[in-house]
């Protein structure tokens, strides 16, 4: 394939780039308005593709015809809307997430000025969406609703909300032309009915066919619409016309497209009648496809690095964030060992920070040069290439970039390995999702699952669903490990012996680190590199005491103990020794004094000489019971008893360590004897 020319600006075209959505979090409408410089209503008319050579990057440039102006000043009837990603005859770049932009889309657009490097190549002022996919509220004119990825609004209420937020009424530029409205002159006819469909579970983007049964569909093809998985089902996705395999009055056969998600689908007849399925269609996974010239194409993973697959290169600043980098490696290994996809990790770093079609598969946080939009946790850039052989076209993924929102940019990340807290977004879960897109998987509609389009705070998804994510990844690997007639050779699958990313790095912690005997300590493994076996020596005697990932040990004797952990996996092992890591304090020695026998009422001094020693003075004393004692908190109290008593002395030292001793005081009585003397 030929390379793109610097500064190339392609002509307007009608084809729409296939895009997918990715992990989002909701941005309130008020915040979107506050970020915007210009808010307009309008219709997308046509597109052109711009090559920006500084990054380098492809951009799709839409011409937007303005019908209403809500905020800002703009005199012209049309403006240019710039969006990352696009395609030429030779190259294709997909950005995940991407806004639902297509020719004919009508909606409200919240805009700000595009990057200077992009705008400098255009003849008119250029703008971009704020908040990414949430920067456009798409109108569904037939129903009178507008939607974004998280909400739906009656269009009239949306007008009023925007007027209230900007503090002024909107300015009408032009009415929505009647030609943009749906047909209303269709002849009356009986409503269509869907009586059933098969199968009830089907995968999307795999070119499998859904059969729909019923009546009243008519003989002229209409359309089949599915809940759009890229937006959680908040809008409908219409299957391309070439996905309709059969259309008759009683049966429709349709290939299920990548964008279809779980839920009730609907049929729209050629007379504009709409009928919904009686039950939900289940879609466990979706595979990304490309649309070119009205045709859908399967995309293959290939041997792009001459080592069997792809090499991901961490940005230096990203790799320096040890917790984030370890979370990334855990997620990467989950895919490598779950589907054996050959995604490698470079041993060196790069200074590249922004996504660019530059041959480096960078993994990075965003930065001020290339900020992620509000509401976006991470973005996957897929760079595609194509070739032809035997009159057929073949597409493959040349490279990728993964960019994540930087810490402190309005997101409270949890880098793990502990679960996220309330209000925290789990970084490992987000990485696992983005790598799913790199694995050529699309979205599903299944909240709290890996490939759902959005994730909430406190949600943790760190494993692959066997029937969903793993099954989809294995499907991609099945056809990608077979070479196409042209283009790069096939990807080489990993296996269980080489999927682990390097030997682990042993790390552990413990709680508590010191205390009085008997001291129970919990040890927890925090090793990086996904160890699969552990050996603990918790008392420094060279003998393995435990082989579980975490362990609990009780120390009975005072002293300082060295702890060693050996962490292992299939790639090797690592040992961490912490000398004198656990300290068990010495207990105080207590002497309550010798047992005593005294005459009832006689005073006797208790305690030893000294009463306490060792441990950590000063000490506190507690004699129990306090009966007959002049001071139960003194080391040597005086007891005066009328009956025998056993006392328990408890001594607590300055560290809180306690010891006890007992003493018994026995009493006796001297009886008075009277004698009678007689004289005989």
Do residues 342 and 493 lie in contact, with contact meaning Cβ atoms separated by under 8 Å? Answer: yes
What is the domain-level CATH number for residue 379? Answer: 3.40.390.10
Whether residues 87 and 204 share a domain: the answer is no
Region 201-228: what's the mean pLDDT? 96
Whether residues 332 and 437 share a domain: the answer is yes
Whether residues 324 and 471 share a domain: the answer is yes
pLDDT of residue 97: 67
Burial (CB < 10 A; 0-12, 13-18, 19+), residue 251, is middle
Distances (CA, A) of 372 to 82, 137, 644: 15, 19, 82
Whether residues 78 and 141 share a domain: the answer is yes
pLDDT at 55 over 80: no
Buried b (16+ CB within 10 A) or exposed e, 162-190: beebbeeebeebeebeeeeeeeeeeeeee
pLDDT at 2 over 50: no
Domain boundary among 536, 563, 584: 584
pLDDT at 651 over 80: yes
123-137, 603-617, 622-636: least confident range:
123-137
Buried b (16+ CB within 10 A) or exposed e, 594-630: eebebeeeeebebbbeebbebbeeebebebeeeebbe
Taking the C-alpha atoms of residue 85 and residue 102, their distance in angstroms, rounded to an integer, is: 13
* 502 inside domain: no
pLDDT of residue 592: 97
pLDDT at 265 over 70: yes
pLDDT tens digits for 552-561? 999 999 999 9
Taking the C-alpha atoms of residue 560 and residue 546, their distance in angstroms, rounded to an integer, is: 19
pLDDT of residue 295: 83
Region 178-202: what's the mean pLDDT? 69
Whether residues 405 and 440 share a domain: the answer is yes
* 201 inside domain: yes
* 381 inside domain: yes
Taking the C-alpha atoms of residue 544 and residue 575, their distance in angstroms, rounded to an integer, is: 13
pLDDT at 110 over 60: yes
* 3 inside domain: no
Domain boundary among 283, 300, 335: 283
pLDDT at 53 over 80: no
* 17 inside domain: no
Whether residues 438 and 470 share a domain: the answer is yes
Burial (CB < 10 A; 0-12, 13-18, 19+), residue 282, is middle
pLDDT of residue 383: 92
Domain boundary among 560, 584, 608: 584
Region 496-525: what's the mean pLDDT? 92
Higher pLDDT, 654 or 132: 654
pLDDT of residue 187: 44
pLDDT of residue 670: 60
Mean pLDDT, rounded, of the chain: 89
E runs forming strands in 274-334: 274-276, 289-292, 295-300, 310-314
**Which residues face 651 on adjacent strands?**
621, 659
Confidence of residue 200 (pLDDT cuts 50, 70, 90): very high
pLDDT of residue 204: 97
* 4 inside domain: no
Burial (CB < 10 A; 0-12, 13-18, 19+), residue 387, is middle
4-8, 514-518, 568-572: least confident range:
4-8
Taking the C-alpha atoms of residue 379 and residue 368, their distance in angstroms, rounded to an integer, is: 16
What percent of the chain lies above the pLDDT cut of 70?
92
pLDDT at 16 over 50: no
DSSP state of 198: E
Whether residues 515 and 637 share a domain: the answer is no
* 674 inside domain: no
pLDDT tens digits for 88-100? 766 778 786 678 8
Q: Which residues constitute the domain of residue 318? A: 310-480
Taking the C-alpha atoms of residue 651 and residue 655, their distance in angstroms, rounded to an integer, is: 11
Whether residues 361 and 467 share a domain: the answer is yes
Region 480-500: what's the mean pLDDT? 93
Whether residues 279 and 407 share a domain: the answer is no
pLDDT of residue 177: 59
pLDDT tens digits for 379-436? 999 999 999 999 999 999 999 999 999 998 788 999 999 999 999 999 999 999 999 9
What is the domain-level CATH number for residue 174? Answer: 2.40.50.120
pLDDT of residue 125: 85
What is the domain-level CATH number for residue 214? Answer: 2.60.40.10
Query: Smallest Cα–Cα separation from 314: which of 302, 322, 306?
Result: 322
Taking the C-alpha atoms of residue 103 and residue 46, their distance in angstroms, rounded to an integer, is: 6
Taking the C-alpha atoms of residue 671 and residue 136, their distance in angstroms, rounded to an integer, is: 107
pLDDT at 375 over 60: yes
Region 470-487: what's the mean pLDDT? 96
Per mean pLDDT, which of 45-49, 232-236, 496-500, 594-598 is the most reliable?
594-598
Overall domain count for the chain = 5
pLDDT at 679 over 60: no
Whether residues 79 and 212 share a domain: the answer is no
Region 493-514: what's the mean pLDDT? 90
pLDDT tens digits for 125-179? 899 999 988 999 999 887 888 989 888 889 999 999 999 999 999 999 988 755 4
Whether residues 351 and 376 share a domain: the answer is yes
pLDDT tens digits for 568-608? 887 788 999 999 999 999 999 999 999 999 999 999 999 99
Taking the C-alpha atoms of residue 420 and residue 527, their distance in angstroms, rounded to an integer, is: 18
- Count of CB atoms within 10 A of residue 59's CB? 25
pLDDT at 438 over 90: yes
* 488 inside domain: no
Whether residues 316 and 427 share a domain: the answer is yes
pTM of the model: 0.69
pLDDT at 12 over 90: no
């Amino acid at each position: 394939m030929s390379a793109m020319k610097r500064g190339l600006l392609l002509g307007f075209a009608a084809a729409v780039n296939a895009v997918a959505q990715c992990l989002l979090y909701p941005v309130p409408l008020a915040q979107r308005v506050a970020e915007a410089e210009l808010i307009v209503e309008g219709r997308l008319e046509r597109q052109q593709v711009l090559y920006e050579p500084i990054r380098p990057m492809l951009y799709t440039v839409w011409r937007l015809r303005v019908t209403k102006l809500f905020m800002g000043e703009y005199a012209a009837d049309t403006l240019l809307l710039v969006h990352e990603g696009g395609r030429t005859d030779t190259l294709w770049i997909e950005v995940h997430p991407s806004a639902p932009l297509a020719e004919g889309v009508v909606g409200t657009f919240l805009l700000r000025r595009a990057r200077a490097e992009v705008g400098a190549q255009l003849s008119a002022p250029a703008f971009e969406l704020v908040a990414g996919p949430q920067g456009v509220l798409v109108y569904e004119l037939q129903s009178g609703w507008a939607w974004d990825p998280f909400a739906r609004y009656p269009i009239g209420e949306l007008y009023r909300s925007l007027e209230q937020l900007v503090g002024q009424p909107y300015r009408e530029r032009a009415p929505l032309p009647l030609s943009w409205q749906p047909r209303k002159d269709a002849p009356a006819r009986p409503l269509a009915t869907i009586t059933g469909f098969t199968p009830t579970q089907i995968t999307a983007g795999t070119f499998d066919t859904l059969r729909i049964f019923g009546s009243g569909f008519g003989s002229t093809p209409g359309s089949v619409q599915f809940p759009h998985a890229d937006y959680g089902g908040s809008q409908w996705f219409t299957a391309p016309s070439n996905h309709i395999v059969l259309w008759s009055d009683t049966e429709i056969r349709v290939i299920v497209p990548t964008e279809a998600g779980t839920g009730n689908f609907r049929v729209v007849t050629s007379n504009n009648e709409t009928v919904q399925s009686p039950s939900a269609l289940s879609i466990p996974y979706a595979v990304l496809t490309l649309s070119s010239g009205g045709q859908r194409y399967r995309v293959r993973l290939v041997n792009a690095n001459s080592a069997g697959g792809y090499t991901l290169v961490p940005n230096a600043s990203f790799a320096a964030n040890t917790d984030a980098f370890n979370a990334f490696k855990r997620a990467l290994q989950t895919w490598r060992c779950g589907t054996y996809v050959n995604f490698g990790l470079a041993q060196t770093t790069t200074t590249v920070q922004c996504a660019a079609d530059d041959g480096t598969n960078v993994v990075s946080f965003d930065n001020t040069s290339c900020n992620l939009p509000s509401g976006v946790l991470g973005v996957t850039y897929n760079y595609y290439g194509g070739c032809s052989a035997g009159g057929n076209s073949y597409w493959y993924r040349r490279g990728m970039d993964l960019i994540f929102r930087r810490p402190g940019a309005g997101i409270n990340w949890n880098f793990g390995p502990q679960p996220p807290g309330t209000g925290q977004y789990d970084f490992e879960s987000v990485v696992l999702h983005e790598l799913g897109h790199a694995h050529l998987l699309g979205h599903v509609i299944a909240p709290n699952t890996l490939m759902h389009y959005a994730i909430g705070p406190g949600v943790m998804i760190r494993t692959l669903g066997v029937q969903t994510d793993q099954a989809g990844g294995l499907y991609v690997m099945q056809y990608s490990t077979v070479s196409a007639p042209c283009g790069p050779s096939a990807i080489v699958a990993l296996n269980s012996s080489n999927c682990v990313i390097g030997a682990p790095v042993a790390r552990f912690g413990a709680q508590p680190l010191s205390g009085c005997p008997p001291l129970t300590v919990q040890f927890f493994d925090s090793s990086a590199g996904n160890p699969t076996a552990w050996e603990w020596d918790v008392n420094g005697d060279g003998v393995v005491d435990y082989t579980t990932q975490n362990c609990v040990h009780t120390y009975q004797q005072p002293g300082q103990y060295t702890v060693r952990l050996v962490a292992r996996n299939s790639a090797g092992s690592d040992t961490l020794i912490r000398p004198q890591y656990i300290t068990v304090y010495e207990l105080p020695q207590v002497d309550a004094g010798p047992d005593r026998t005294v005459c009832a009422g006689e005073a006797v001094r208790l305690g030893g000489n000294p009463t306490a020693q060792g441990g950590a003075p000063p000490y506190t004393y507690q004699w129990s019971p306090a009966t007959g004692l002049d001071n139960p908190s003194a080391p040597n109290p005086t007891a005066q008893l009328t009956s025998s008593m056993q006392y328990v002395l408890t001594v607590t030292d300055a560290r809180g360590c306690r010891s006890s001793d007992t003493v018994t005081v026995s009493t006796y009585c001297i009886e008075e004897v009277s004698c009678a003397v007689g004289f005989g």
